[in-house]
Chain A
Amino acid sequence: MESAVWLRDAVCCRGGFPALAGVDLDVTEGEVLLLRGPNGAGKTTLLRLLAGLASLDGGRGTVLGCDLGGERRELRPQVGLLGHDLMLYEDLTVTENLRFFAALAGASETEARAALERLEVSARLREVSLRRLSAGQRKRIAAAVLAVRRPRLWLLDEPHAGLDESGRAAVSGLVRDAAARGATVLLASHEAPAASEVATRTVHLAGGIVVSAAEAAVSPSAEARDA
């Protein structure tokens, strides 16, 4: 199977601090990988590195066939990142945000609307500026933007944090859909039950390196793929 992520001794600094201190990681295409580790382990930096938003300060790496040294510009449009910062415009309404990013991604208006439906964003909220939404509601919008862009690699940083039951279910559903379409998913999460039910494998990070990689004991989607 094609390799989606290939990192060897990857070092990545944030503000002079080596957040990643030599990560080795292999992810094959179609995997749903759960990243675990204590706060400050380097999960967020790893996801930003894989999104092409942080530069590699040591080691080597390839993501979706793009070299992290010189081909990050080719990589980025194929990657979707849902982070702590939602990367949306606070002053625009929900629809305007979605329409803008859909237009840049070449997606249609219908797809944008479908994504909002999928994330169960009520029609009442759609013409409201983002500033007036709660954190959980905003996260749904960010997830909808992600869905519209249909990336090949999904990088989710604590996607369940701050969401209510239906929001968690919607995000988990989104991840399953993506995996079913053959996309690769990396998600960092402390919320073990919600995350591990979709994950096929778990990787532990600590002190900026991968300390252990284990197959998930039982995983429905892994069985489905192996079959």
Chain B
Amino acid sequence: MSILLGRSPDRQPPGAAPAHTGSRTTRLLGGLALAGLVGLGLCAFVFSPADSRPGPEAGARIGQFDAVRLMYVHVPAAIWTYAALGACALASAVYLWHRGAWWDRLAHACAEIGVVLCAVTLLTGMIWGRPVWGTWWEWGDVRLVTTLVLFLAYAGYLALRSVPGAPEARARRSAVLGLGGAVLIPIVNRSVEWWENRTLHQQSTLEELRIEDLTLFTLVLGIFVMGAVVLWLAVHRFRVAWLEAEAESAGLQAALAERRAEAAAAEPGAGAGGSGP
């Protein structure tokens, strides 16, 4: 719990820099997210009903039944996946424009969170699809396939980021790749319309569920709670990225000092040597 809240055994004097990425803001945010998760759990499992309605035949019931409870994770995760990856693309674009290291780090943080959320989206989607559609994976469903493509594209982005190199060069390359991946996002939406006749996905999950008030409320709550979680992750991840850069530059300062010492050692000899033999 204390880890999740970012609380540390800090006994430092006030004003000293913390040895972790937490702060009062993130602790508040973390608490809010945890409370939200508890509330979401209650709503998802206790208060909200299963999806069940009269079928075309008398007496028969159709619907997703309790599997709908997976939607309260799946839909928020999907929405925030697209938000996070979109934010990564946006930050990449701003970086290419303004060249602020801040934007590079933001893009990195957003991409990593986006990839994790994308994994959650895909996994919960598959687990939901098995009982409801009767299959783990459906190639005909474009939203599924394109989300996977998006996942792979940004996994490639993280692969590029993991390659060591000069920070600024890496930032530029990553920015181009992050922005290039965003080109796929509109294609995702386009292809949903195009392949409509082949898709299993509901035009909109919200519509299809014939939402009961509480179901809708839980879904919206899920989106907000996931938002708090994502924000908390983003703040921490951003600070880690910041620390990474600072650690790198601290290493550089050390190397620089070493290099200058090497020069100082060489100076007398070179000075006496003058020019040429």
**CB–CB under 8 A between A and B in the complex?**
yes
Write the residues of chain A forming the contact surface with B, with a CB cutoff of 8 angstroms: 11, 13, 15-18, 21-22, 34, 36-38, 41, 55, 57, 192, 196, 201-202, 204, 206-209, 211-212, 214-217
Q: List 13 additional contacts besides A21-B260, A206-B267; criterion CB under 8 Å.
A: A21-B263, A41-B266, A57-B252, A192-B277, A201-B275, A204-B270, A204-B271, A204-B273, A206-B262, A207-B264, A209-B260, A209-B263, A211-B271
Chain B residues with CB under 8 A of A202: 275-276
Interface locus among B5-13, B89-97, B161-169, B222-230: B161-169
Q: How far is the CA of A31 from the CA of B238 in the complex (A)?
A: 49
Note all chain A residues with C-beta closer than 8 A to B263: 21, 206-209, 211
Q: Say yes or no: A18-B252 contact (C-beta < 8 A), given A37-B270, A207-B261, A211-B266.
A: yes
A-B pairs with beta carbons under 8 A, tally: 77
The complex places the Cα of A179 from the Cα of B260 at a distance, in Å, of 33
- Which residue of the partner chain, among A16, A36, A38, contacts B164 with CB atoms under 8 Å? A16
Which residues of chain A have C-beta atoms less than 8 A from B265's C-beta? 207
Give bound CA distance, A38 to B265, whole Å. 13
Summarize A's interface: helix, strand, loop or mixed. strand
A226 to nearest B CB, angstroms? Answer: 17
Whether B101 is near chain A, meaning CB under 8 Å from some CB there, is no
- Residue of A whose beta carbon sits closest to that of B263: A207
Query: Which of B252, B263, B266, B273 has the most chain A CB atoms inside 10 A of its CB?
Result: B263
Q: Please tell me if B259 contacts chain A, counting CB pairs below 8 Å.
A: yes
- Complex CA distance for A200 and B167, rounded to whole angstroms: 38
Q: Given known contacts A16-B166, A17-B255, A207-B259, is B275 in contact with A216 (CB within 8 Å)?
A: yes
CB distance from B67 to the nearest CB of A (A): 51
A195 to chain B, nearest CB (A): 9
Check A55 against B166 for contact (C-beta < 8 Å): yes
Which single residue of chain B is at the shortest CB-CB distance from A201?
B275
CA distance A212 to B276 in the complex (A): 12
Find chain A residues with CB under 8 A from B270 CB: 37, 204, 206, 211-212
Quick one: which of B242-264 are within 8 Å of A by CB? 248, 251-252, 255-256, 259-264
* B59 interface hit (Cβ, 8 Å): no
Contact partners of A209 in chain B: CB under 8 A: 259-260, 263
* Option from A13, A18, A21, A214 in Cβ contact (under 8 Å) with B275: A214
- Docked pose: A18 CA to B263 CA in angstroms: 12
In the bound complex, residues from chain A placing their C-beta under 8 Å from that of B55 are none
